[in-house]
Structure 1
């Protein structure tokens, strides 16, 4: 057990229990020690029952544990490893020389560094700019050491004779030097006047601090002999393709988890592989069927987790043997937001960290970094004969006369300027270091490799060179023909501008490398942008191009955010990481390469799906539906209550069209003779401009009959949605039979209890709640052609429609539909019931079409579903399990005695959605029988944010098992409704409850 305070919520519980006093020695025999538990930053807030402890031969301890008091919330006895290093860490460590860890360093790259992102492994020796250093044992102000919560030792360093000791680690804030206590670490004093530390992930966003002047300090020693030991570094070995000693094809672990499937989206249970102890090789299965990792981007919130991991590279062939592949995690609309970098034999000194999906920043801790120029870069520098720009902040080259005219979207140029702040201009130099947003609709053509506030007067080189013969032209010819396979091209002129390891202004420790390459030959002109290491920055940034009046422009996705800019080296539009390529001679308009469109196998004018969604109109608002939550596939024709409508071609205000970011078509609709064209979809956001957001382009086609079809794709930005323009409504001239989802057909000549369709979809479950920013799970019952009677199942188990209100975004859609009345009895025959849908906390905001219902022998129901009104956003008929307990829960329950659940208990923020509820529960209060409240409870009571209460009386014995709605209070007694639970009254005057995750 630890002898020091542990932060609350450590050790797998809520209140972490630790030993108040040192462990006994062998000669002490059995001793008694107090036990304390922490609450927030109060270490000894709880006092548990004392326990007995004894030291045993063999260097271990035994404890006589007792049951902690019920008044302590979820207490857990903590454990810390008791091990001795097998190799002396004084001679087997990794050097850690990162000056930003100094106690006088307040910021790093405009980002706080977080050591919980680092995969710590073993022992470390600290340096400061090559000089011996050590961790601080003094209080450090919040915001120093390049982090938010500086970490310091809460005790003195050991002496040589102490050997390996354990020290508490403190994290400071504005109010306290030890506001939080992180995990303890082990420390050892070494001959040669230095220390080594066994670092572990801290519990907060903090960093281990180093004292810059520590090299002047000495380690007290009782030895009279001085031994000089040179620093020995433990270098991470390179990852090679050497064959394993045992063929992993025949020696692997089976990994068969259904929740890992890519179609498991927006799961209510979030899984995290950071908690798994991985060991060796694994083969993937899903329900016994062999599968493999995806090697293309996977939607966020898929695979049962937040940031799904996918293989950034193709799988090998048998003859390839063992290969190394990068792994990417999709987050913040960036397919490779989280990355696991692999090392190879050329870069053996690179040590990197894998960022956990729970964090919001990407940081790396590097012992030594020696990166060559990326292979995608064209030759540059003095060796290539480059002309070097003067080292001047906000400077530029002199005018460069081009050896061959360059055609840029209809304008021919014979001169160019290379500007130090990362962009090229044609008519005049530019010292501008703050980029404007594209499209600017301005008066100049500009190419922005990475337009930001760069400063080559401090670090880095800006250079350029142009070629009319030689190997560079051969390479350019090969590249263009590879990227444009339908062209036959020969390069006759190449211009290469390079920014190599240039720092940002006032951020002298940063390095950024990229290239802009202009290529021409015949009537063709092309633009290549190559990206190497790009440091994150807080400066405004922009990468892409813009033309006069913005007739042509493009912004590389995510390049307007300095926090994500480092991902440019892992992005591409030509499947070459770090490279973006564009044809810029003028055709095709807004040309973007290799967007992954499927070929049109038949004319989309006659092969589309109808999308009749009046709530998408630009005069609608009030809810926030996100198109990222829908599965887009193929071509769509837009309708408004059966009439033609089209996407708007002008700016649409934010929060219209019932979404956050309203998407409109940035360009006119095509004519019939234009065929299929590509158009940019733009989104307005506050004052950021009408095209502040640019999502994936879409294809559009004009069709005979005065309508358009759109190949809609999943947007890549925030909560956005495609809009329709009410000013374009027209009556259809002709009717084309669209695709529609059909139900199985049956005849109505028989009893529907014996002749029904099975509707089994786990997404319809009331437990399926699409909580994330309006991201529903893709169901929409207006798309279904209902036919006859249906019986509901959830994963094979019999189900029924709920009779109570459900929160919007439940049941796999946006508007959850429920039965407005009780189910019929057998003798009632076929009855008609109203159907209602919720909007936010308004239960009966929507009224759908009534349906018929019948009770059937065998304790189930059948429903004659109809198509809900188009005015209801993504409505879905809900299902709730209809089961009878196999064992009487009055005699088969789990006792729940947690006094903090009392209606008069406050100030503890417990959350029952973190509990894995299983079966039935009986409630106690300090050993006394109790029950759930049926009354309104104030916000913040019951030890939680939102107290849960029954919205109805408890049942009587004769009622058996009943279902009750659960309310939680915020701004009202039943402002929101959670999942219903089942309740039963039992002999002996008590109740049992089948709790589920709220």
Structure 2
């Protein structure tokens, strides 16, 4: 803090003799986000015209709720070095409330395009050499070359190139998307030394859409200029311009999902479609609908909708099936597929093509009207930079901004549907079932006698699944990264596997290798959703998901606040088998993520996890284990273990014998919370655990407890 105000360490070079020392220390990299947990950052000290002349000992940093940071400071590598407090980011904290750090726009959407061909690594002009020290640099810049995204070179550039004498290049690799804003050293080649000029460091960020932005500053000398690497132009941008910045706006209100005009029906087959289009409705960004649209809407007879989820930014260009509703069949017209891309600024572009028939038209879903992110600049076809328009959200009752995450993740908020008569090998024509009579609400997880199953992806014989016309999913199940997708449902009858084209449903793949389905009433009676009993071994791996196949480890002596030097424990003597869920007196806990005092956790050298715990989507990860001894938090680098985050807010650990005796795994009692209800345990796993529980050490209980 600075005089009661929250501050943080500087992320860029600090002038020598500041911060009350000779060589002021700054953090060489961006501060972490909340979700990053504890991270390690390099520390630099400015001296002798080199911002990182002193590469001091790294420190650990963590972002905290309340918008402040904590640092695990260590002794610097030399004397006359001191950690700095960046007073430029100070904010009033009369009640010790932290600084609001993110008060400026994301630089990925708030930049100036720098498209000056003389910056190219293959351009030389010694007569009119440029000097970037004379430029008034303000904010962030995106490097381009004649309308194509490029980046700074990461290796030495020949002298007299880039329109200057000593061309500047980035001494290090560019960051990844997840790295956020990083600081990089800048070098200038001269006098046979690629880094003869160690110019002022700059900040860099990787952006969705495969480009970078740079916070350029005045170089340390004249006749230096930032370079644009021509060698990576074709890698950064495809042979044609990025469709997110090269499209035609399609703003035709008659395409709205709430508009009908049977007297003047539109036909998109008569349109000469060329290139990419951005859908808008009266100046507001919209997208194509992802579910069935009523006939005679969107200004046509058979409205076209996208049969699947829109992509994410990281997906790039994807291909999606297009359906047209007609004759009580949401996908009666399987029109030609189109390509789609998600763009920075919260909008989509579509490569529309002529539909397969007339009286079909692409729809604009006015129920999801969105506000594009303002203030960034886009590139037109002729290379001229123009600011995009700023749109405000609609307040009309007919168009509202969609709230996507209004309910919990369906992977953690579902009803188990375990009805053996749904099996693909079960038939009962006397008491045929009808799913049209079921009041379907929300999401469902299919099981068969306690085992995970999924809907069949191919035709099922008639009279199976306890009904007349069994329903199957016409398409592949999604992957984890696909999120929620829409799938067509077919029912076999009268020699036609898709005689009944029932109402589409939504599906999601979940961590733990299972699926959830948002079932709806089928289009007719004597139809029922099937459970494919032939894929139980495919849906559940040969070894059970450790989130549902573990041993509860509830031994109070493992607590981080417990000490017993007389009867110290040794986890090297334990026969560890499989996975374990840590508990403390019946409450869920986890391993500590920071150093634990010696002689705690009922042992001499308490073991803690050196890193953050994973998220649900991370699956199984490996973590380093440290043991505190001899004033060194990681004096014992014990054998690594595997960890997994589980639905229900707990973790499982695959403990192994530590590297030495008098070491024991700790349970962090500060993280204790009541055991959370989780999805029901498959019966075959319960039986396995009961058989195994007799082999457990005293104090360990089977997982039949706590559920």
TM-score clears 0.5: no
TM-score, normalised to structure 2's length?
A: 0.27
TM-score, normalised to structure 1's length?
A: 0.20
Higher strand fraction: Structure 1 or Structure 2?
2
Structure showing greater relative contact order (alpha-carbon pairs closer than 8 Å, 6 or more residues apart): 2
Q: Which has the larger radius of gyration?
A: 1
